[in-house]
Structure 1
Amino acid sequence: MDKTIRIALIPGDGVGPEVMAEAVPCLAWARSRGRNLETLPLPYGADHFLRTGETLPGTAFAELRDGCDAILFGAVGDPRVPDGRHAEEILLRLRQGLDLTVNFRPCKPRVPRSGPALDIEVFRENTEGPYCLQGSTEPGRAIDLAVHTEPAVRRLLEAAFDHARARGCTLTLAHKANVLKHGHGLWMRVFQDLQRTFPEVPAKGMHADALLCALVQDPSPFGVIAADNYLGDLISDLTAAFVGGMGVAPSLSWAPHRPHRCSALAEPVHGSAPDLAGQGLANPVGMLLSTALLFRHLGWEPEAGALEAAVAEALEAGARTRDLGGNLGTVAMGAAIRDRLPQ
């Protein structure tokens, strides 16, 4: 018998609990098909922080790291915590503490006829860059530091090269090494070294501003795009616009070198959207597709493919939330997708 997979559930803030509620039945569906899994619901987010002062305590992090196989995550961010410190501490502790170097953001057609035919997958470094939150503020002066280390850069780029080779597609590195000579210079050196290791992958570096212009003009030539934390965030948000917007954009973060038992975190790209919370307006597609990415990471390809197919069939049949021009609420959209899952 396969070992039991333990998945932690962190709904978080805003619309996070609403979209998580549509994903949890998909876990039960996978269990009904013979997958051995159990869930660990966790309360961490703004409500818990405001009530207790805790973000993600050390004991809870240790339980995640050593006692779980993966995390299904909603979103964090709440206007009641105006400096966002609880969100920063939770996300940074998970991403950096679990060494989730690779943030994978696929961009494939979701909403029929929403844009050009394309299949872009962004590999975003997830633990460093300017999002490491190192810097200072003083009167008339503010500094944000961007940190890049060769081990993290190499892990991200090796994963991107491996994936491009498996797909048989191009790989483009987005960078600004012409200006950011130290940090992005390191990216270019590692990239050029790996080009020699993967000679069969058509790979090139491209200044990020030129790449963004090219994406807007014609995204179809692009396959895999690799970037640092900051540029990868911007590029993947742009590519999401090609396929229906942030509500349908999934992501999976993972540790390619698997230093801990818990080596993956799946979450939708859209964030907590506190202005939409509690109204049933959130689009659950991004969360359900993130769940499919998690299934695939766990080796559950039949369930991953079936869930992705159910999303495609529901959208093709005209199921839409308001952000996609329809009138379905969160619960109805989730049901429209799950009703198409094989039993």
Structure 2
Amino acid sequence: MAFRTMEWVTEGPVLRLLDQRVLPEVVRYRDLATAESVAGAIRDMTVRGAPAIGVSAAFGLVIAARQAGGADLRAVLPAADAVLRAARPTAVNLFWALDRMRALWEAGADAARLEAEALAMEAEDVAVNEAIAAHARAILPQEVTFFHHCNTGALAAVGVGTALGIIRRAHEAGHKVFAYLDETRPRLQGAKLSSFELMEYGVPHAVVVDGASAHIMRKRPVDIAVVGCDRVAANGDTANKIGTYNLALAAQDNGVPFYVACPTSTIDMGTPTGDGIEIEERAEEEVLVVNGASIAPNGARAFNPAFDVTPNRLIAGLITEKGIIRPPFDVNLRALFGG
């Protein structure tokens, strides 16, 4: 069964998103016709994954611009821009995409120019995903066992994705691939989404509970851990789905190289270290309720940070579309960006 994470429909216009909240049981699409509804879809995780969030937000602005008719977009778009920026705080691609669009509308661009820019971002993400997968091939043995956290594939991007895209393309290139997928509590993106994708592509894998990673790495051969990210600080500290830090610690203790797959748009040179990354905190119910059923006593409280920060000392390299960036990250990232 083929699926598309998003589709821009010019008639309307609407942004058509695959509703990831109901996968894998139901494959359902939502047509969103306002910037506010796109922001809501980002917030409620109908769409998720840093690259997909950024492109979706760009199309949200295009919808607002198209609906403005002949009005001056410099007067109309600040409100739409603000509501989209408020949707989620951690993924830097959201702000990167909106900043890119803002530079155009503040300079007087019309709706057609903004639409062209959003479509360009969409095409760029496809190319970036493929370049990341190609660079990763250089560090993969012919027979390779991966460890992966959350979902970083086609559901999190426009193209094949980042870390899961590496796994998929390695399989398609003839590597003998096996992947352990953390279930990724509390929203279970690894079990529900990453397994859904790898089943579609025929990639051998096993879903494991998040707490099993250290045991598996100690008892079974694992060649590489590879994850995606929502933001990389200037020193290489990396924010990603909660539980990534745990996986990196387990990898270090067991001699498994830990890599982060990320577009350069996810690298935030304006944030010196991971301590400066805002960590989104989500509703308690995500922890206390699973598929509508309570798993804790009545009255129990929960604390639900959506992300954590993996210190740069645990990261072997950042796999980007421009190549693999290795430590010292503060030096090599400055060089990458011409600093």
Scaled by the length of structure 1, what TM-score is found? Answer: 0.31
With CA pairs under 8 Å and 6+ residues apart, which has the higher RCO, 1 or 2? 1
Scaled by the length of structure 2, what TM-score is found? Answer: 0.31
